[in-house]
Amino acid sequence: MKDLTEKQLSSTHIFKGRLLDVWSDEVKLPDGRSSVREYIKHPGAVAMIPVLPDGKILLIRQFRYPIGGVEIELPAGKIDPGESLEETVHRELEEETGYRAGKITKLTEIHPCIGYSDERMWIYLVENLTKTETNTDGDEFIELLPTELSQCMEWVQTGKITDVKTIIGLFWAEKLLFQK
Amino acid sequence: MKDLTEKQLSSTHIFKGRLLDVWSDEVKLPDGRSSVREYIKHPGAVAMIPVLPDGKILLIRQFRYPIGGVEIELPAGKIDPGESLEETVHRELEEETGYRAGKITKLTEIHPCIGYSDERMWIYLVENLTKTETNTDGDEFIELLPTELSQCMEWVQTGKITDVKTIIGLFWAEKLLFQK
C-alpha cells in the first residue's frame, strides 16, 4: 500500500458561528508538495431507528434550511459537551419525538461528509418505546411520521427519502428485522 | 401537515475558500420568531459504482484530511461549472481510476449533509469498463482496490467502510446484483 498521508503544516481558524466551526490548513502531500484543506470541525452526532410497539419506524418530518425543503428523517442530533453517546440518544429521542427508550443498541458508525467535515455519527436501534410529553427544541419544528418499514424502503428506492443517515439506518433496520 | 417552512430574512457571506463557500442567514421560524442558519453552498457531486469485467467493485483508497485517515470509498467528485452529471461521472472515473465506462445508469440522489450543506449527490452504476491511462488529479493520491461485493458488504457491516456515499452505493449494488 502506498503512503497516502497528508501532514499538517499550519492551521488557520476561519469562522466560529453558532453551528459551524471552519478551518483552513496547509498540508504536505505524499509527494512533498503542499496544498490547502478547508473543513468543518463538528462535535459528532447520533441518529436512531426508533421501533414503535406496533413495529412501525418513527420517522420525523423537518424543514432543512440548507436544502430549502422538508425532509423525512430518522431522529438525530449533535452530542452536547460532556455527554455520552447513550445520553445523546435518550435526550434527542425525547426532545424530537416525546418518547423514552427502554433499550438502545449501537449498530454502526458513519462519516457523512469526509470531504469537508470531521463529523462522525453513530446509529442506534431504539426499542421498548414509551410516550412522554413532547418537548421539542426551541428552534426545531418537527412532525412525527410513524411508517411501516416496507413503506420506508419504498421511499428510499423512489428517492422520496434522500438523507444519508436515514437511508443507511433503514438499510440496517431492513437487514436486522428480516433476520429476526 | 404543519407548515414547517423557514423563510430567509437576510443572508451574510462568511467565507469563500478554494473548496468551502460559507453562509449565515437570519431566518423566520414557523412561529414567527427568528433564528440563524449557517451552511455551506456546494456545487453538487456524483459518486459511482464501477463494476469491473470480473464482477468486482472498483473501490479506491484515499487519505481524507478532515478525518485524518485513509478511507475506502467509491470513486466520486464535484461537478465542474457547466458540466452535466454524465460528463462528471466519465471525467471523475477516468481521473481517479484510469477506466472509461461504456454504460452508466443513474440510480438515486442523496443529501449527505442536510444540517449544514446544500450538497446534492447523484449515484451511478458504471459498467462496461475499459482501462486507459490513469491520470489522477494534481493533489489526489489514490490507490485502486477492486473488491468482491460480498467483501464490500462485510466491510460495511463491520464498520471498516464508514463513508456514507460508499455505504449507500454498495447497498444499492447488493440489491441490483442480487436481483439479476
Å from A138 to nearest chain B CA?
10
**Inter-chain contact B113–A110, Cβ cutoff 8 Å?**
no
B166-171: average pLDDT: 98
Best probe of the A interface among B6, B23, B114, B123, by most A CBs < 10 A, is B114
Mean pLDDT of chain B: 94
How many residues are recorded in chain B?
180
Please check the confidence at residue B137 and state whether its pLDDT lies above 70. no
Q: Which residue bears the cell 470480473?
A: B54
Per CB-CB distance under 8 Å, the chain A contacts of B5 are 63, 70
Q: How far apart are CA A117 and CA A107, in angstroms?
A: 22
Q: What is the ipTM of this complex?
A: 0.95
Q: How far apart are CA A169 and CA A175, in angstroms?
A: 10
Per CB-CB distance under 8 Å, the chain A contacts of B35 are 139
Set of cell numbers at residue B37: 442558519
Å from B118 to nearest chain A CA?
5
Contact A93, A100 (CB under 8 A): yes
Per CB-CB distance under 8 Å, the chain B contacts of A67 are 111, 114, 118, 120
Per CB-CB distance under 8 Å, the chain A contacts of B61 are 1, 4
Write a three-state SS string for B96-142: HHCEEEEEEEEEEEEECCCCCECCCEEEEEEEEEEECCCCCCCCCCE
- Give alpha helix (H) positions in chain B: 85-97, 149-158, 164-179
pLDDT in tens, B17-36: 999 999 999 999 999 999 99
B116-125: average pLDDT: 98
Set of cell numbers at residue A150: 416496507
Set of cell numbers at residue A45: 452526532
Of A4, A6, A110, the CB nearest to B164: A110
**Inter-chain contact B115–A64, Cβ cutoff 8 Å?**
yes
Q: How far apart are CA A38 and CA A180, in angstroms?
A: 44
CA–CA distance from A33 to each of A18, A28, A123, B139 (Å)?
A: 35, 6, 38, 9
**Inter-chain contact A141–B64, Cβ cutoff 8 Å?**
no
Q: Cβ contacts of residue A178 below 8 Å, gap of 6+?
A: none
Mean pLDDT by 10 residues, chain A (180 residues): 90 97 97 96 98 97 96 98 98 94 97 97 97 65 95 97 98 82
The per-residue pLDDT for A180 is 53
Q: How far apart are CA B124 and CA A11, in angstroms?
A: 36
**Inter-chain contact A40–B39, Cβ cutoff 8 Å?**
no
Per CB-CB distance under 8 Å, the chain A contacts of B116 are 19-20, 40, 66, 117
Quick one: angle between helices A164-179 and A149-158, nearest 10?
Answer: 140
pLDDT confidence bin for B135, thresholds 50/70/90: low
Contact A117, A21 (CB under 8 A): no
Å from B98 to nearest chain A CA?
17
Å from B141 to nearest chain A CA?
6
**Inter-chain contact A15–B14, Cβ cutoff 8 Å?**
yes
Tell me chain B's radius of gyration from C-alpha atoms.
19
Residue of chain A with shortest Cα separation from B8: A65
Q: How far apart are CA B26 and CA B11, in angstroms?
A: 6
Set of cell numbers at residue A179: 433476520
The per-residue pLDDT for B3 is 85
Q: What's the count of helices (H) and strands (E) in chain B, helices before strands?
A: 3, 10
Contact B169, B124 (CB under 8 A): no
The per-residue pLDDT for B102 is 97
pLDDT confidence bin for B177, thresholds 50/70/90: confident
**Inter-chain contact A4–B62, Cβ cutoff 8 Å?**
yes
The per-residue pLDDT for A3 is 85
Residue of chain B with shortest Cα separation from A7: B65
